[in-house]
Amino acid sequence: MWLCGLLAILLGCAQAQAKAVFAHFMWKVDIKLAQAAHIDGFALNIRADDKTLGTSLSKAFEAADDLGFKMVFSYDYAGGGAWSSNIVVSMTLLYSGYDAYYKDGKGRPVVSTFEGPGRAGDWEYIIKKTNAAFIPDWSSLGAKAALDAAPCVPHGLFSWAPWPWGNTNGNTYVDASYIEFLEAAEKNCGTDLQYMMPASPWFYTNLPGYNKNWLWRGDDLWFDRWEQIRFINPDYVEIISWNDFGESHHIGPLYVEGDSYEAFTVGKAPFNYALDMPHDGWRELLPFAIDLYKTGVATITQEKLVAWYRLTPKDGSCDDGWTTGNTASQLQFEFTPRDVVQDKIFYSALLSGNQAVTVTVGGVDLGATWTKTPSGGAGIYHGNVDFGSHTGAVVVTVGSMTINKRPITTNCDDTSGYTNWNAFVASTAGAAVSATVNSTQWVCIEGTAASGFDELCAFTCKYGYCPVGACLCTKMGPGNKLPDAGTPGFGTVGFPAEGRSASYWGLCSFACNYGFPCPNAYCDTTEHQLVIPNVSPFTPDACTSGVGEGGLGGLCGFSCNFGFCPIHSCTCTSTGALHVPPGQSETITGEADPSVDERIFGPLCEFACSRGYCPEGVCVQVEIDDGNPYKNVNVACIGSEVYSNPSAACESPCVLVLPPSGLPTTTTIQFLPYTTSFQVGPTTTTMTLYPFDIVTDKISFSNINITGSVTDGAVFPRCTSMKPDAIPITLSYVSNSKTTVTIRQVDLPPWPQITQGPPEKWTSTCGGWTTGTITNSDNTLIYLTSTSTSTSPVPVYTNGVFPPSLVEPITEPMDKQCSNNQCPPDNDDDDDDSVVTVKVKCDELWIFIFCINTEKIKVYGWKFTFPKAIIGPHVTPRVGPSLTYPDKPTNCDDNKLEVPVEMYTRSFGLSVSSGTTVTTTTRTITETAYETGCPLPSYTTTAACGTADGNAKRQIRTAPATATATPALAPRAAWSEDWRYDMVGCSGGSDTAFYLLDGADESDIDTVMDRLSYTGLINHRYQHHSLGTILIFVQKLPWSLYQKIMQMPGVG
């Protein structure tokens, strides 16, 4: 089982990874070690593909229950594939029933993830079903985009970024970005959001089998990070990790037994770099650090000494293993490892007062001192010292405590000739002492910052003003006395200097007021207009161009431009703000041609080919097999007209989604009792449930799955499927004389499957349904039997629907293509009878035009490719023999409107020129593209349809919503009688277009289309393959319905 982590809920979490054999017999040992370190719990990183999960988790929670320890789940969406939302619900409900599962102050089980932002839309449903406090790690997006992935859904965020960039030491700028955006989201969402801050001591991985081979600077990080945590004081802290040996940041014990080292075999590591490299010493000072973080007060009862270092010098003769400092896989500028790590010995001691430290290597005294000392004399002292070219025994001494463990050597025979970039950690204990540190009134008394802010922050942090967005606090203690009125310059009013940003506002105001010399390069005594930078000044530079030799030239030129510039393949020639790469294909990737070195070309081909550039001879384009059997399945939503004309079509494989069918009167569906079993903690309970009646005026049906080829038509019965409401139940279990109570919402299977009992899965959704009754309001009984079979065949059409599956821009001038509201198929294309292609000039399809006219790109029209697809009874326009569209209003040309649309290459995939993909970025495309259209005719209505403003016209309000990945089919919303009444007697109405507001998602669009499907009105949904739904056009829409649609979410 892949266990992840340590959660100290008031403290935080330590991520951990281990297989089931480890979990089976070591749980209590590890829990006791974690408790000794004052860690509150483990965050269990669980994978969807782990076959041993059930057994392992049961043992883990039983051990935690026995020892009073806590657990939380971190659902891993990266390592083992995406989780099903229903499985997440079941897992969370099951194990949150244990007393050991951590609940927050509101009684909610805390749940996290490792990545998975692509399934962000699942979590509103999961939270509703589990009442979870959801704090995901969506660090691949960054803080702002992570919150935008599911607005107001998470209850906080966890950052997976505790490690420094390149050759710098750790800072808190990433933490500051999370805090800033969480605070802004709190205002928008009207709720408190929590930050889970990461802590980690080291990072080195060399697992080619997992495409991982890099390091980030560790060195002083373990000491620095706990100082930063004490200052920021986050809601939670998660330690990365407890036992992830493959990334070298484990603080738990090394186990040789079982398959604890399996990652090195599966990951094809050149050697086991965790073997004989214990990190237990890093736990020794945690009780003190954690107590200070959690309560502000910590007691020292025994002196401790910890030291860590690498066993070989960075410039020795050992192979560096192709390891890099930083990683291009995260669009970071890469270094050689020797440019990142430091040949130093690092040491920390927990002391009641200052004592001298000495470090010798091979008997040579290195002149060690403390670089950090605690305020007040008692606490953690820290330092480091260069060992230079010295080798031999490493001896670290503080008072009576001495560490004399493994020597530094230039020999690497034990590591197969490779440099081990992992750390060796040793510790020892000293005399019993008694000292208490109370930091509850401490403030920042020392600080620094990035270049351009360092002088100001050094001054302001000294006096307790150390804004986390600009500065880095490096020491806390009792506050220093502020400068008084006798200080030169005291009382000066300061502002950011000309050309400076708002990041300087508070710093200049504080610093100038208390005597920092102003004006200066950063502050002025005159107020200036603030500059808004395009990139944060605290964001490290990325590669912006690069070159490569021979066949690498084109690949390096393309990839380095977007920050992906692997040091072993390319040379970066310029750096700056990251150029955002083009959108990555979900279906196409690349690999190295067999004629070239895969290690040199492989990563570049994967990056470039998935983004449209795949040079022949060095790269091979490969289709991604994601294992999804439904990725090529067509979803066909059928309109209500199917019941008067019972035929439909789709290209197999496909799913026909049937609309509800109306009943003559309001009807009550009554259910028999339903018996099932539940597991809560270690207890299984059997209960009989009494489903709520369904009161409805319609019958819904199951989807029809067509998996085989249908060439001559086929006949399918309609299969009733009525979903009862969820039933709330209360469950409890007793463990160690303590009763745990949990409330769940139980989802029942639809009727009539509910009458079959709870098998593991339903083998049939149709047939044999005679149990249960539907009672009309007039007490008439209707007995449901199997639906009678229609004799009408299901024709299979070779034409298709709008939108087509492929839309391509035409970048050469073209002649008029359309006339009389029709655009004939293009005769110059392939004679493939499975598709129809149509070309449209920018000014010919009046209701939807999206053309680009910039310095770089000119689009003259669009080519639509229509495959075989569903032809629903109400879906238009149709193809074959031509594309047809509604009549153009007479005043269109005189009243044409243009809407500026922001250019995002990631969203738009703009260009094809002579068969070659032209890649653009927001950096080079600065002009504006426009959607053009025209107002629709005035509304004409009758009294039966409500009162309308006769002069009302459709106004385009904003840019169209951008697309998401192919959305899952949303469940149909319940029918509202008000919509049906709006259609009564409505012979009038006007043709109407609804544009989707920026930020509208697919669920908003599906809801509108679902409502329209009940009205019987002819409607068209216009989409673009990258932009998503542009507009929904409805013919003869009554005014009252227009008003309702305009009030729906996402509609403009």
HSE (CB half, 13 Å, CA atoms) of 175? Answer: 27
The string of DSSP letters for 28-93 reads: HHHHHHHHHTT--EEEEEEETT-TTHHHHHHHHHHHHHHHT-EEEEEEESSSS-PPPHHHHHHHHH
CB 648 within 8 Å of CB 656: yes
Q: Which residue has the higher pLDDT, 849 or 653?
A: 653
Provide mean pLDDT across the span 129-144: 94
Q: Which residue has the higher pLDDT, 649 or 467?
A: 467
- In 862-882, which positions are buried (b, 16+ CB within 10 angstroms) versus exposed (e)? bbbbbbbbbbbbbbbbbbeeb
Domain 6-438, CATH? 3.20.20.120
Which part of the chain has CATH 3.20.20.120? Answer: 6-438
To the nearest 10°, the Cα dihedral for 198, 199, 201, 202?
Answer: 10
Residue 873: pLDDT band by 50, 70, 90 thresholds?
A: very low
Residue 300 is encoded by which pair of tokens? 């020292």
Percentage above 70 pLDDT, the chain: 66
Check residue 510 and give its pLDDT: 97
Q: Which of 6-15, 168-177, 490-499, 677-686 has the least mean pLDDT?
A: 6-15
CA–CA distance, 850 with 864 (Å, rounded to integer): 13
CA–CA distance, 351 with 376 (Å, rounded to integer): 11
Provide mean pLDDT across the span 916-920: 30
Residue 717 phi, psi (nearest 5): -80, 155
Other CB atoms within 10 A of residue 19 CB: 19
Q: Is the pLDDT of residue 137 over 90?
A: yes
Q: What is the pTM of this model?
A: 0.68
Contacts of 793 (CB under 8 A, 6+ apart): 647, 712, 713, 714, 715
| Helix 53-67 with 20-36: angle, nearest 10 deg | 20
How many helices (H) and strands (E) are present in the chain, helices listed first?
17, 52
Q: Is the pLDDT of residue 830 over 90?
A: no
Q: Is the pLDDT of residue 836 over 70?
A: no
| Helix 454-462 with 505-513: angle, nearest 10 deg | 60
Check residue 792 and give its pLDDT: 27
| Alpha-carbon Rg for the chain in angstroms | 33
Check residue 660 and give its pLDDT: 78
CA–CA distance, 1051 with 992 (Å, rounded to integer): 13
CB 323 within 8 Å of CB 334: no
Contacts of 841 (CB under 8 A, 6+ apart): 814, 816, 817, 818, 860, 861
HSE (CB half, 13 Å, CA atoms) of 514? Answer: 18
Q: Which residue has the higher pLDDT, 423 or 857?
A: 423
Provide mean pLDDT across the span 735-746: 65
Check residue 743 and give its pLDDT: 59
Check residue 146 and give its pLDDT: 95
Residue 938 is encoded by which pair of tokens? 């005035």
CA–CA distance, 936 with 995 (Å, rounded to integer): 12
CA–CA distance, 728 with 741 (Å, rounded to integer): 13
Check residue 761 and give its pLDDT: 35
Provide mean pLDDT across the span 383-404: 97
Residue 1048: pLDDT band by 50, 70, 90 thresholds?
A: confident
Provide mean pLDDT across the span 336-347: 98
pLDDT in tens, 41-52: 999 999 888 777
Residue 639: pLDDT band by 50, 70, 90 thresholds?
A: low
Cα distances (Å, whole numbers) of residue 904 to 580, 846, 921? 10, 24, 7
- List 76's β-bridge partners, or say none: 47, 114
Q: Is the pLDDT of residue 487 over 70?
A: yes
Q: Report DSSP state, residue 101.
A: B
**Residue 278 buriedness (CB in 10 A; 0-12 / 13-18 / 19+):** middle
Closest by alpha carbon to 573, among 605, 546, 604, 612?
A: 546
Residue 686: pLDDT band by 50, 70, 90 thresholds?
A: confident
CA–CA distance, 303 with 380 (Å, rounded to integer): 10
Other CB atoms within 10 A of residue 1047 CB: 8
Q: Is the pLDDT of residue 613 over 60?
A: yes
Average pLDDT over all residues of the chain: 76
* AA identity, residue 669: I
Provide mean pLDDT across the span 156-185: 96
pLDDT in tens, 202-256: 999 999 999 999 999 999 999 999 999 999 999 999 999 999 999 999 999 997 6
Check residue 182 and give its pLDDT: 96
Residue 85: pLDDT band by 50, 70, 90 thresholds?
A: confident
Three-state secondary-structure class, residue 567: coil
Residue 828 Cα to chain centre, angstroms: 44
- List 619's β-bridge partners, or say none: 592
Q: Which of 17-26, 340-349, 558-567, 787-796 has the least mean pLDDT?
A: 787-796
Write out the H or E segment, with its range, that includes residue 350.
strand 344-351
Residue 480 is encoded by which pair of tokens? 């220093």
Write out the H or E segment, with its range, that includes residue 741.
strand 738-746
Q: Which of 115-124, 544-553, 1000-1009, 1040-1049 has the least mean pLDDT?
A: 1000-1009
Q: Is the pLDDT of residue 489 over 80?
A: yes
Q: Is the pLDDT of residue 95 over 70?
A: yes
Residue 659: pLDDT band by 50, 70, 90 thresholds?
A: confident
Check residue 738 and give its pLDDT: 65
Check residue 628 and give its pLDDT: 61
pLDDT in tens, 959-983: 222 222 222 222 223 333 344 444 4
Other CB atoms within 10 A of residue 725 CB: 12
CA–CA distance, 596 with 593 (Å, rounded to integer): 6
Three-state secondary-structure class, residue 594: coil
CA geometry: angle 424, 425, 431, nearest 5 deg: 155
Residue 881: pLDDT band by 50, 70, 90 thresholds?
A: very low
Q: Report DSSP state, residue 761.
A: S
Check residue 1031 and give its pLDDT: 62
In sequence order, what E strands does 558-633 have?
571-576, 588-592, 619-623
Check residue 989 and give its pLDDT: 61
Provide mean pLDDT across the span 626-641: 65
Which range in 140-144, 718-722, 839-843 is most confidently predicted, on average pLDDT?
140-144
CB 103 within 8 Å of CB 96: yes
Cα distances (Å, whole numbers) of residue 943 to 937, 977, 986, 987, 988? 19, 19, 9, 11, 10
Residue 387 is encoded by which pair of tokens? 């060992």
Other CB atoms within 10 A of residue 105 CB: 6
CA–CA distance, 155 with 105 (Å, rounded to integer): 13
CA–CA distance, 383 with 371 (Å, rounded to integer): 5
Residue 108: pLDDT band by 50, 70, 90 thresholds?
A: very high
Residue 834: pLDDT band by 50, 70, 90 thresholds?
A: very low
